[in-house]
Structure 1
Amino acid sequence: MFRFNKDFFKTLNRPNKRAWIIGAVAALAVIDLFIISANQISFTDEALAKKEITFNVPPGTPASRIPAILEKAGVEVNDFYFKLSLRITGAHKNLHAGLYQVFPDDTVSSITDRLAKGEAYLFSWRIPDGSTYWEVRKSLNAMQGIKHDSAQMTAEALLFAIGAKEQHLEGLFAPDTYNFHANVSDLTILKKAYEHQQAILTEEWTNRSADCQVKTPYEALILASIVEREVGRSEDRAIVSGIFSNRLRIKMPLQTDPSVIYGEGETFGGDIKREHLRKDTPYNTYRFVGLPPTPIGNPTRESIHAVLHPAKTDYLYFINKANGDLVPSKTLAEHNRAVRRYILNKGH
């Protein structure tokens, strides 16, 4: 058997040793050039014309399918090197589903690293302050890239699906911006919004003032939804809450137009008229004393807080000027003067 000894390399003559070194360096250079070249990506003209280049990885997608998915999106990669990079980063074992973005300065390595870390593109969806549940559902149904599992559900089925104990969907979703990955079920999003509102309500109810007039957290949600719709400026929430609390305390009708309008349903698109004020509906707060049966929209934390910490005031009436300024009044005579001056523009 041939054995190396310490004098073996000494037997190599200098020219052969130099050629061996040069060959090794050349081989490494070729490998480096291959890696640099294989690590590059390119885009089709159609892909470059888009504002955003994205590719979707559905749940259960094998890592070997990613190059084909990229190609369909207009991104060309070296198939062999991409799959090798997936193994190096570990993405082949733990591929995260979602919608991913590709940028002009990306490489195969940066894309596979993003896949391995699950850095998927997040969708953003906002529930506007005071929006109704039908506006929330309409907005969510229009979102692309998610599963619309709730689209054909009845209100009763949806309440059950999100784990709500309430009998009505209104007011149950916290106004906020929600971020989520592609392919998520809209039920997951709605459940998150519901649980967020419940957490807010629980915290605010626990720390409520002794002066609040509502008897239950759900009553707080109802009154907060009215305050949400009635204020022209955020800083007026507490005083408007104080006015409504005063009315509840002395058993005076709330007489709030937004509640009447809500009672007309989602198809109502006109101005409120006397005929609406005469209708005998559960939401006509001109015809009965107390709160309507449900919220009339989704209130913010600020409105919930205001209802549970109403301002101490002698005011019973208020209007909002065109610029949003609040004009409170203690008596009906003062209120009528404010209406004539700021609403009817008839001066003093």
Structure 2
Amino acid sequence: MFKFNTDTIEKLKAVDKRYWAMGLAAGVVAVGLFFVCANQITLTDEALSKKEITFNVPPGTPAARIPAILEKEGVEVNDFYFKLSLRLTGAHKNLHAGFYRVYPDDTVGSITERLSKGEAYLFSWRIPDGSTYWEVRKSLNALDGIKHDSRDMTAEALLFAIGAKETHLEGLFAPDTYNFHANVSDLLILKKAYEQQQAILTEEWTNRGADCQVDTPYEALILASIVEREVARSEDRAIVAGIFSNRLRIKMPLQTDPSVIYGEGESFGGDIKRKHLSKKTPYNTYRFVGLPPTPIGNPTRESIHAVLHPAKTDYLYFINKANGDLVPSKTLAEHNRAVRRYILNKGQ
């Protein structure tokens, strides 16, 4: 009978261990390669040609649906590994709705981590300086990716919904760029814009100068909206505010065309004419002394600050040249000469 000696047995054990270690190492390498490869994403040519790649996760979407959503946008992932990564990051339990971006250097892991943290793509919407409330509503109604809860609301209902104390929508929204997640209600966006304007107005009113000619924060908002529409350059706000403040102080009509135009309403789209200047509306500042009943647009902080810190000046009139230069005048005769020279182009 054949027998192994002790040395032979030990040698066989050593060989067995080496093969076992090699097999284990090969297995580890194979598993590692699988996870490395499975972690990669592939973009179709169409997806790569887009300016940006985004995918939408609607509210209530099951985490298991994400790979199919990505594939529809041209982003191919390993379905098994993606779902595993969702579990590892916890995104399968706390999936945040919204629009998410995908970048060419992304991996499955980076995408699922973004999902787990709710790092959704933020939408942006801007309220332009001096825009009217109807322009604001029209712009917001045309915005994609949000809930349009305010679209069919009356002005009164909207004022109530955003918590406004005022009785007119005009001037209540701070011109700015607002960032928000997808599927947010437009009421929340408008409420934020309203609260921001209120905060600005409160701060500026608290620190107002002694020479301002308005008696309430709302009057400051009205005059600021006029200044906003009248200046061609930001640096002219204080002097234009000073001119209008002088007119208020001596009870001279403000005679501001933008207010007259506002009084014509949303449908006005032409040049202001003599018939408009003689029309009896609450916004015709050629026919009465003092401020119109409401703002005529949404003023910026800069214009609000200007009317509460008007420049000290003797000027009562001004025009803007075609290039935006301000030409102030102390007397009507000076003003008429400026109009003749720079507006009518008739020289001196």
Q: Matches of residues 111-130 of structure 1 in structure 2 within 5 Å? A: 111-130=111-130
Number of aligned residue pairs: 340
Q: Which residue identity lines up with residue 157 of structure 1 in the other structure?
A: A
In angstroms, what is the RMSD of aligned CA positions?
Answer: 1.5
Matched residue of 2:245: which SS? Answer: helix
Matched, 1:270 2:270: yes
Q: Which residue identity lines up with residue 316 of structure 2 in the other structure?
A: L
Q: Which residue identity lines up with residue 254 of structure 2 in the other structure?
A: L
Match of 2:110 in 1: 110
Q: Which residue identity lines up with residue 139 of structure 1 in the other structure?
A: S
Q: Matches of residues 276-315 of structure 1 in structure 2 within 5 Å? A: 276-315=276-315
Match of 2:64 in 1: 64
Q: Deviations over 1:266-290 (max 9, x none)?
A: 1111100000001000000000111
Match of 1:204 in 2: 204
Match of 1:133 in 2: 133
* Structure 2 unaligned residues grouped into runs of 5+: 1-9
Q: Deviations over 1:110-165 (max 9, x none)?
A: 10011112111111111111011111111111111111111111111111111111
Give the Cα separation in 1 of the matches to 2:158 and 2:305. Answer: 27
Give the Cα separation in 2 of the matches to 1:94 and 1:31. Answer: 28
Further displaced range: 45-54 or 268-277 = 45-54
Give the Cα separation in 1 of the matches to 2:57 and 2:294. Answer: 41
* Structure 1 unaligned residues grouped into runs of 5+: 1-9
Please report how far the alpha carbon of residue 242 of structure 1 lies from its aligned counterpart in structure 2 after TM superposition.
0.6
Q: Which residue identity lines up with residue 203 of structure 1 in the other structure?
A: E
Query: What is the aligned-residue identity percentage?
Result: 86
Match of 1:160 in 2: 160
Match of 2:3 in 1: none
Q: Which residue identity lines up with residue 105 of structure 2 in the other structure?
A: D
Matched residue of 1:56: which SS? Answer: strand
Q: Which residue identity lines up with residue 71 of structure 2 in the other structure?
A: E
Q: Which residue identity lines up with residue 324 of structure 1 in the other structure?
A: G
Match of 2:28 in 1: 28
Further displaced range: 271-280 or 10-19 = 10-19
Q: Which residue identity lines up with residue 187 of structure 2 in the other structure?
A: L
Match of 2:191 in 1: 191
Further displaced range: 91-100 or 65-74 = 65-74
Matched residue of 2:328: which SS? Answer: strand
Give the Cα separation in 2 of the matches to 1:46 and 1:36. Answer: 25
Matched residue of 1:340: which SS? Answer: helix
TM-score, with length taken from structure 1: 0.95
